[in-house]
Structure 1
Amino acid sequence: MSMSTTPINQGPPTADQEKKKTSPLVYILVGCGGLIVIGGIVFAVAMYFVYNKAKQMGLDPELMRRSPAIAVAKFVAATNPDVEVLSSDEANATITVKDKKTGKVITVSLDDAKNGNITIKEDGKDEVKIQAKGNGESGSLEVKSSEGSMKFGNTGDKMPDWLPAYPGAAATGTYSFSGNDAESGGFHFSTSDSSEKVISFYESELKKSDMKVQTFKTSQAGTVTGEDSDKKRAVTVTAGSSDEGTQVTIAFNVKK
């Protein structure tokens, strides 16, 4: 027996059927949008609590707007139990604090802080000037006083004449000190040569300068020190292997 089938006429899709055909992407996007909104709310609430906590700890929002340097200085001092803020002068951008442990009174001038310049004056002593220059790897910090000056970071200094430069390498100054009785400094460079070759080079060069030399070498690292007979000049060279080649640091000291 055979059966015949007649196609059933299906009318136009209903509204419910249309909803079922909505692309899943729409729901994903709506969900992401919801997450973004929720994330924004959470971030805003977090910032609100941070803001209020900072206010409780002594950060003055109005002072922060008018004089950021003074506001931050007062905030830092307020969070240190050993420091007492004696006075602050917003017009001249100065703040005077007292070290509770030592009794020392220090006045900090932040008038030119936006240009990286800060002046510190301790009662009965000469002022100390701090200057920050540049950014990142090219940045440096210099401290000057009547006793001498110190630099940190990329100092721009050159190695002293008596200290030979390694062939093919450009050494960068990392720190320096110049005082009434002595001066010292440090340099850094990298090379594709082995640490053993670097140490051997400086061992030979320092001996040529009639220095007393001591050397320690392994296959991956080494150190050589040199000191002249009157003990006025001394140097230490350290080299070590890394993924970026051999890293070398040089530190010297000269007595005047």
Structure 2
Amino acid sequence: MSGLAIAGIGCLGLIVLIFLAGGALVAKFMPQIREAAAEFEKDPAKAATMLALKMNPDVEVLNTDDTKREVTFKLKSSGETTTISYEDFEKGKMKIKNSKGEEYTVDASKAETEGMVIKGPDGQIITGGNAAATAPPAWVPLYPGLALQEGGARMQRPDGGVSGLAVGKVAAPSAQVYQHYETDLKSQGYEVTSSFSDEHKAGNIQATKDDGKTILGLTISTESDGQTQVALTYQEAAK
């Protein structure tokens, strides 16, 4: 797993924990919550950051620096050490430096509309937000009328390569969508491997070209509302 993935997963875990900590989880961590509550009046940014860290069993806090407004912690599962700013965490923006000196930024301040943006030496990842935030590049073929949904992701690498996931729905029979993609991709010079089940009204397509530098994967299925869902993964190496 790349450093970017490690940093992204770690930060996402912390953010999700503080928002999803309800019911039994809150009861389990009541001592930490009470401790943080006492600190919120004095230093709300630090209190929120420390609460999220202490509620993650995989985290060991190594050091706090109130002058620099930072906390350093270690992920027990990987041994990776990370430093984050109190204020950045509170605002949904974080600068993270791991034990290798690599720096990453996580910006979730506009996550609802523009997605969460993670930047680092490996490139930039956008995940979540509305469909436009993670829309695939223009070269990725979309079925006519396909309405992209939330939940996609897109990674842009420094060398110009790109990869990602797009999900959409369309009011057309799954067999028709499958046949369209199969024909269209072959006409564009892709080598296509595909299969379709009439019984389940679902199919899969794998397509490659440019000696494997461009790869597409499609899963086509029929939803309970009768519409066809297309889950499309794409990858293009730097040219």
Structure 1 and Structure 2 fold alike (TM over 0.5): yes
**Structure 1, 52-61 or 143-152: larger mean CA deviation:** 52-61
Q: How does 1:1-256 map to 2 (within 5 A)?
A: 54-55=30-31, 59-80=35-56, 82-90=58-66, 92-100=68-76, 103-134=79-110, 138=113, 140-154=115-129, 156-172=133-149, 174-180=152-158, 182-219=161-198, 220-244=201-225, 245-256=227-238
CA distance in structure 2 between the aligned counterparts of 1:91 and 1:51, rounded to whole angstroms: 33
Identity %: 26
* Unpaired segments ≥5 residues, structure 1: 1-46
Based on CA coordinates, which of the two structures has the bigger radius of gyration? Answer: 1
Q: Distance in 1 between matches of 2:136 and 2:57?
A: 43
Question: In 2, Cα distance between the equivalents of 1:241 and 1:180?
Answer: 37
3-state SS in 2 of match to 1:176: strand
Answer yes or no: is the 8 Å Cα contact 1:58–1:74 preserved in 2.
no
What residue identity is the alignment partner of 1:146? Answer: P
Is the Cα–Cα contact under 8 Å of residues 194 and 205 in structure 2 kept in the other structure?
Answer: yes
Partners of 1:52 and 1:66 in 2: how far apart? 24
**Residue ranges of structure 2 left out of the alignment (5+ in a row):** 1-22
**TM-score scaled by length of structure 2:** 0.74
Partner residue in 2 for 1:3: none
Partners of 1:110 and 1:93 in 2: CA distance: 6
User: Contact 1:232–1:254 at 8 Å: present in 2 too?
Assistant: yes
**Which 4+ stretches in 1 moved above 6 angstroms?**
none
Alpha-carbon distance change, 193 to 80 in structure 1, aligned in 2, over 3 angstroms? closer
The TM-score normalised by the length of structure 1 is: 0.69
SS at match of 1:60: helix
CA shift for structure 1 position 175: 0.2
**More moved, 78-87 vs 206-215:** 78-87
CA RMSD of aligned residues (A): 2.9
Q: Flag the 1:68–1:197 CA change in 2: closer, same or farther, 3 A.
A: farther
Cα pair 1:105 1:122 within 8 Å, conserved: yes
CA distance 1:51–1:239, shift in 2 (3 Å) = closer
Contact 2:61/2:73 (8 A) holds in 1 = yes
Larger RCO: Structure 1 or Structure 2 (Cα < 8 Å, ≥ 6 residues apart)?
2
- Displacement after TM superposition at 1:91 (Å): 5.6
